[in-house]
Copies of this chain bind each other. A is one copy, B any other.
Amino acid sequence: MKKVLLTVCAVCFALQVSSQENLWWKTPVNSPEVHKDNTVTFRLKAPNASSVEVVGDFLSKNEKAEMKKVDNDVWEYTTPKSLNPELYSYSFMMDGVKISDPSNVFMSRDVVTISNLFMIDGKESELYKVQNVPHGSLCKVWYHSDKHNADRRITVYTPAGYETNNQRYPVLYLLHGMGGDEDSWSTLGRAAQILDNLIAQGKAKPMIVVMTNGNSDLQAAWGESPTGYVTPTIELPKTTDGSFEDAFPEVVTFVDKAYRTIAKKESRAIAGLSMGGFHSMQISKEYPTQFNYIGLFSASARFKGRKESHIYENCEEKIKKQFSQKPALYWIAIGKEDFLYEENQKFRSFLDANGFSYTYVESEGGHIWKNWRNYLCQFLPLLFK
């Protein structure tokens, strides 16, 4: 009863606030509803709409699932089959306009695409969930780059206990793809959850993870820099002109100064997805004494004939030099349907022809976050052994 009274008080308070702030304290309908059998029902209250569809990565490519009007107000769609445990994203198309689900406040941005999120729990997604395990910290930190003549933002994960102990930790530099930014790995990539969970399970060593912004034109993620709320674009010239790779040692210097790192090659890894895989390849070969573990996730792997920067010149020779110094791990993963599949095979041919040792993982699927999260889960346990 006391609880009821308190709740009534809270509601009255809410209503008062609501009348001033014009907030909606309830979502219009229950959507998405994940059923016990892992089928999912999507709902949209839209009395005047003529058509509503669901689009999302739980459907086949370009598939749109038609929603049906189940009463005068509400449109509904239920997946015909159970969905596999995974983090999914979706949107509605209402009379041809792509909209977010007004009943689901959880969303993420990928360049200019806002999608709603939902999770199907289970073995395959347990590493992506916030579990009741010790949690590391996730920080937005700025450092100064002389080469870029700008303050730039990085996202830093420090493992649980970092603030109150005196230990030193190895460091993984984890790089995003074209169109992403220093937020991508911690949002769509679920990096903090994956790290927390693998460390708690004893499968990964406690480590610091540094997520950079690989676009030299940006000081920070869209909306988080002095340029303000500028609409994101992928058409940025300074992603693969060598300037990011050229200035990368500044990040390492800052991190080794600002954090209790183990500042040597044996305790340093670099990995990235797509463009970030390309950056990881370039940076690790450019500074062969610095990184002992290298991960290329669905990497853009074209290493020959590039002229945009001195960084990209003599790539073969530099990679040979890198391998002569025997990195502990060179890990390549690509999906069978990835548009970069052939590029990766060509790169492998070069490595094979030279007898360089690397690990190769071929997965299903294409150039998607599901794969990159999965690659990270596979890669982390191999580090700093």
Chain A residues packing against B (C-beta within 8 Å): 2-3, 6-7, 9-11, 13-14, 16-17, 19-28, 30, 44-50, 55, 61-62, 94-100, 102-107, 109-114, 117-119, 121, 129-132, 134-135, 137-142, 151, 153, 160, 163-164, 177-179, 220, 222-226, 228-229, 231-237, 239-241, 254, 257-259, 274-275, 300, 308, 337-339, 366-368
Contacts and interface: CB of A to CB of B under 8 A. Distances in A.
Contacts of A19: 339
Nearest to A307: B2
A129 B22 contact: no
A232 B240 CA distance: 41
A178 B237 contact: no
Contacts of A100: 99-100, 114
A310 to B, nearest CB: 14
B112 A107 contact: no
Contact of A142 (B6, B24, B137, B151): B137
Contacts of A105: 109, 112, 114, 222-223, 231-232
B10 A239 contact: yes
A344 to B, nearest CB: 14
A117 B119 CA distance: 27
Contact of A97 (B13, B55, B94): B94
Given A139-B140, A258-B163, A61 B366 contact: no
B99 A339 contact: no
9 contacts: A11-B235, A14-B234, A25-B179, A94-B94, A97-B99, A103-B231, A105-B222, A119-B228, A130-B225
A278 to B, nearest CB: 10
A123 to B, nearest CB: 16
A35 to B, nearest CB: 15
Nearest to A238: B6
A104 B119 CA distance: 25
A237 B102 contact: no
